[in-house]
Amino acid sequence: MVSPRSWGQREPTRCDGTDRRAREPLSPASQSPYLRPWLGLVDEATFYPQMAQFDQHWPDEIEPLLRRVAEPMRLLWGADGTADGTADDTESALVHGHKLAERRGTGLFVIQHAGHLVQNAAPEAVVATILRLPVDTDCARRDMRVLVTGSSGHLGEALMRLLPAYGHWPVGIDVLPGPYTTAVGSITDHDFVRRHMAGTEAVIHAAALHKPHVATHTKQDFVDANLSGTLVLLEAALAAGLDRFVFSSTTSAFGDALTPPAAAPAAWIDEVTSGAPKNIYGVTKTAAEDLCHLFHRRHGLNVIVLRVSRFFPEEDDDRTQRETYDDRNLKANEFLFRRVDVSDAATAHIAAAEKALALGFGRYVISATTPFRPDDTAHLRRNAPAVVRERVGPFDQVYETLGFRMFPSIDRVYANHRARRDLGWAPDYDFAHVLDQLAAGEAIGSTLAHAIGRKGYHTDIFADGPYPVA
């Protein structure tokens, strides 16, 4: 053992004690609150006697008293909170966590990829648990083991991070490794899917080839990944007796409905909008939606389809837009009509999994809540800044300070009212929220979105934009 004083003088990856119990090495700033009480001459001298006096009977005496705490309580438990990181130790720690929850009479929320210091390893899970879960102790309805496909992607990682905060146990699969991916393999591999679906109760299917892959992958690649892969998952879910399936689709499924003629009003895009897909990405995603509907009608599988707007942090694929607007400016503007924060996209999927049994089948638009109304569409096409001032209020001062500009015209508006009504979904990030962040000098969007960061869609780097445009 080393003295507490020496902890602060060593590389974070080598720290004993405190740092060894965190999945990721703790920075000096993170270590400070834990080490500070032990670094004085008197305090350091008390450290070893306290360690020597420790005995398990002290916590054993306190644990039964937890039932006397009248305030609502949630028990968060780091899944990697073990003494030496072995598999047996992990299982032992989880067993102890469940026993502690039973004594308290509350639910146990297991936070994956976190150790003893959950607040450092997964702060977003702690915040989500505090702010979003209802204050009750009935967690049985939330305690699902969920298979997440595409767990190394933006949305997949967000789901893997947030599901435990909602009382669920995620299992992540992806063709690429990632910090939150449980197993690496293809969703077109029947044995692989069947093996990792065993014991789960729900599927959230976020794996896909996307629009950035249209110019770099063949049409057959898209059919294999987006259509055949979805079929493999649906068949496996049916065979395993699962009753909840959430399919993450795209607003690209609305196709040509998204670009009305130049003189026409902006398109109001909701669940009744129809349009023909414009590329192989949209075609395979809408075909996969139809497969989901078929499995609901023919086999009774409860399926929720979510048509999700853009949430990626990468720069825009439109060169004119990149050259005209700062990237933050572009994304802030898009929160008015066609963007959603990845944390809100993830909570929509979780809400869909929880509501699937009650809804049976549903298809919903997932985007930030727009301030606009259907009768704004003509004016939006002619003078978008004026409509923004009317519906949101004065934004000009913040924009002028930053050198930002509002789009002169907006050609579409994604409306999420049905998703909010049917799923009980309450997205946190809209244009007003983003405007407040800009005014405060903050980065826009959620801390989760920034923690996930940019992943890119290709291993290659392209000279003209984030990816080639077909």
**Residue 398 CA to its chain's centroid (Å):** 29
Cα-Cα end-to-end distance for the chain: 60
What local confidence, expressed as pLDDT, does residue 77 receive?
A: 76
Q: What is the mean pLDDT of residues 218-226?
A: 92
Reference 16, options 220, 8, 281; nearest CA is 8
Cα Rg of the chain (Å, integer) = 24
Any idea which of 29-33, 142-146, 265-269 has the lowest mean pLDDT? 29-33
Which of 352 and 97 is assigned the larger pLDDT? 352
Query: Is 66 in contact with 101 (CB distance < 8 Å)?
Result: no
The position carrying tokens 């979805």 is 230
Which pLDDT score, from 0 to 100, does residue 151 have?
96
pLDDT computed for residue 307 by the predictor: 97
Mean pLDDT of the chain: 82
* Rounded Cα gap, residues 228 and 220, in angstroms: 10
Q: Looking at per-residue confidence, does 99 or 249 come out higher?
A: 249
Residue 212 CA to residue 230 CA, distance in Å, equals: 20
pLDDT band, residue 429 (cuts 50/70/90): very high
Question: What mean pLDDT comes out for the span 351-355?
Answer: 95
Of residues 208 and 113, the one with the higher pLDDT is 208
- Better-scored residue on pLDDT, 218 or 51: 218
How much is the pTM? 0.70
User: What is the average pLDDT across 318-337?
Assistant: 92
Highest mean pLDDT among 48-52, 61-65, 272-276, 395-399: 395-399
Top-confidence residue, 149 or 357 = 149
Question: Residue 416: its pLDDT value, please?
Answer: 98
Q: What is the pLDDT of residues 4-19, one digit of tens each?
A: 333 333 232 222 333 3
Task: Tell me the CATH number of domain 145-452, given options 1.20.1740.10, 3.30.70.20, 3.40.50.720, 3.30.70.120.
Answer: 3.40.50.720
Q: 303: which strand partners?
A: 245, 361
SS (H, E, C) 183-245: EECCCCCHHHHHHHHCCCCEEEECCCCCHHHCCCCCHHHHHHHHHHHHHHHHHHHHHHCCCCE
Backbone angles phi, psi at 464, to 5 degrees: -115, 75
Judged against a pLDDT cut of 70, whether residue 84 lies above it is answered with no
For residue 138 the two structure tokens come to: 């009935």
Contacts of 440 (CB under 8 A, 6+ apart): none
Contact 136, 72 (CB under 8 A): yes
The pLDDT value given to residue 58: 73
CB burial string 349-367: b at 16+ within 10 A, e below: bbbbbbbbeeeebbbbbbb
Q: In the prediction, which pLDDT does 4 show?
A: 35
Residue 108 pLDDT grade (very low, low, confident, very high; cuts 50, 70, 90): low
> In Å, how far from its chain's centre is CA 204?
11
Q: Specify the 3-state DSSP secondary structure of 61.
A: helix
Q: CB atoms < 10 A from the CB of 3, how many?
A: 13
Question: Domain residues of the chain, as ranges?
Answer: 68-140, 145-452
pLDDT top residue among 28 and 253: 253
162's tokens:
């947030």
**Residue 202, by phi and psi: left (phi above 0), alpha (psi -120 to 50) or beta?**
beta
Name the percent of the chain lying above pLDDT 70: 72
Do the Cβ atoms of 410 and 380 come closer than 8 Å?
yes
Q: Give the residue-averaged pLDDT of 426-443.
A: 96
Band (pLDDT 50/70/90 cuts) for residue 63 is confident
Determine how many CB atoms are found less than 10 A away from the CB of residue 105.
Answer: 10
Looking at per-residue pLDDT, the higher value among 298 and 24 belongs to 298
d(CA 146, CA 265): 42
Region of poorest pLDDT, from 68-72, 86-90, 206-210, 217-221: 86-90
Residues 167 and 145: their CA atoms lie apart, in Å, by: 9
Query: What pLDDT score was predicted for residue 190?
Result: 97
CB atoms within 10 A of CB 433: 18
Res. 334 pLDDT band, cuts 50 70 90:
very high
Phi and psi dihedrals of 374, rounded to 5? -55, -30
Q: Which CA distances in Å does 168 have to 60, 107, 222, 373, 427? A: 27, 11, 31, 36, 20
